[in-house]
Amino acid sequence: MNKRKKKSALGTFAVLGFLVYFAYTMVTQQSMINAKNKELASLQQKINSVKSENDELRKKKEMLDTDEYYEKVAREKLGMVKPGEKVFFDINK
């Protein structure tokens, strides 16, 4: 009977050791998964930011080839006016 108790204790110890190892592995894997999920969320946010910036730049690029853009630049940067147009300056600014 002494041998059975030793085998039973050894088996119980082996099962207990396996359960502890399994629990440790599960906890470390879950922490790694959580870290990767945070990284994924951060990268998704960066992707969305870059996509919106890309859309804005695409719109600006399309606007550069329009007559309205050339007129805006001529008026604001070069101070040009259309023939017969009167320009008023706000002296309070």
Q: In the chain, what are the domain boundaries?
A: 2-76
% of the chain at pLDDT higher than 90:
49
- Confidence at residue 9, expressed as pLDDT on a 0 to 100 scale: 82
Q: Please, which pLDDT band fits residue 4 given cuts at 50, 70 and 90? A: low
What's the rounded mean pLDDT across residues 59-69?
A: 88
**Closest to 72 measured CA to CA, from 54, 60, 55, 57:** 60
DSSP state of 66: S
- Confidence at residue 58, expressed as pLDDT on a 0 to 100 scale: 94
What's the rounded mean pLDDT across residues 57-72?
A: 89
